[in-house]
Homo-oligomer: A and B are copies of this chain.
């Protein structure tokens, strides 16, 4: 890695902050920020806000122009290798060359192996100095969903659990509203807003009747939400109980909050009930028809006549839709199924300073260890450019875990 200066570091950090402008809107594209610097002065800044809109470098060049600054001879700090291909927009690398930029410093190479390094070559051929690797980890931490898609052909799965300090998510009588306080619940809306799709279980839908959308006015009214679309929603309902529940109801939107979807956001029911094997939709005459996903698992559980939903197939479907950031927000049954199949990449725990007792409902179930060694080596408290590794939200504590 080249020997970067303190100034280089500061400008790249600024570019990372700019990248965060697209936090809730850029998906499935990566978060990217760019800064143009001449004589140690920022002359232009930009971020990528939405697929189809301009890339960060282009926005930075536009910004410089608006300020009456000439980017000729400047350094461009950008958090991702500039693109060299025609997608929904033209190749940024050509624009940088045409603008006369003298040096390009980027944090992270393009994770697409077909593209990676192409613009580096192109820039060097144009006699532009190229340096890379500054704040690479930080830039990667902003784009875990995008990177999982590109590098591992999978989604990045987050799970949210709100629990007491003795690891309980509800009383034995089922009461779970509310363990955590308002600030923690507000924070969950931000987590939802970062997600392409939210997966929940039929138990949660029937017990809590959640909306599972982003409806924090203080958030939605900010500039960062200008291009926001609500995440999609998937209900895991192995027996397709919900289809029977709703088929005779005229206005399900008044009964089940989860079906109150916003424009461009869709609700899916993932099931394993062969009776509905060939049915594609329920309420197909509505603006937002409810789509059925038949993903029966091959191994049938002992207790039930119905197979479970095959969660791996479900995640493959999400991947095929370019839903890179999946949030599991469910009760302990479904969350435990994801957990026990090792499908969760990141766990967001909201811990309230209270204790619910051994009889209350556990956050995770259906697994037992024979040896403590089996417990270790899988999770760590996560650190990120994007969030504090331990953070108090009102009376509660938020911690994030990721794989070791």
Contacts and interface: CB of A to CB of B under 8 A. Distances in A.
A110 interface: no
B381 A354 contact: no
Contacts of A168: 167
A278 interface: no
A380 B392 CA distance: 11
B392 A378 contact: no
A364 B179 contact: no
Contacts of A366: 357-358
Contact of A362 (B166, B178, B179): B166
B375 A355 contact: yes
Nearest to A377: B354
Contacts of A378: 354
Interface string A353-377: 1111111101111111111100110
Contacts of A367: 357
Nearest to A172: B368
A191 interface: no
Given A390-B392, A392-B390, A166 B363 contact: yes
A165 B171 CA distance: 18
A377 to B, nearest CB: 9
Given A165-B349, A167-B165, A397-B390, A356 B381 contact: no
Name the residue in A339, A353, A378, A401 with the highest tally of chain B Cβ atoms < 10 Å from its Cβ.
A353
Contacts of A381: 353, 392, 395, 397
Nearest to A371: B175
A277 B354 CA distance: 39
A379 interface: yes
Contacts of A379: 353-355
A177 interface: yes
Given A357-B364, A379-B354, A380-B353, A389 B392 contact: yes
A357 B369 contact: yes
Interface in A38-88: none
13 contacts: A163-B166, A165-B401, A166-B363, A171-B370, A179-B372, A352-B376, A353-B381, A353-B401, A356-B372, A357-B365, A357-B366, A380-B395, A397-B399
Given A352-B376, A353-B381, A381-B392, 13 more contacts: A165-B167, A165-B349, A166-B363, A166-B364, A176-B372, A179-B375, A339-B355, A352-B375, A353-B380, A354-B375, A355-B364, A358-B365, A360-B369
Interface of A: 163-168, 171-173, 175-179, 339, 349, 352-360, 362-372, 375-376, 378-381, 389-390, 392, 395, 397, 399, 401
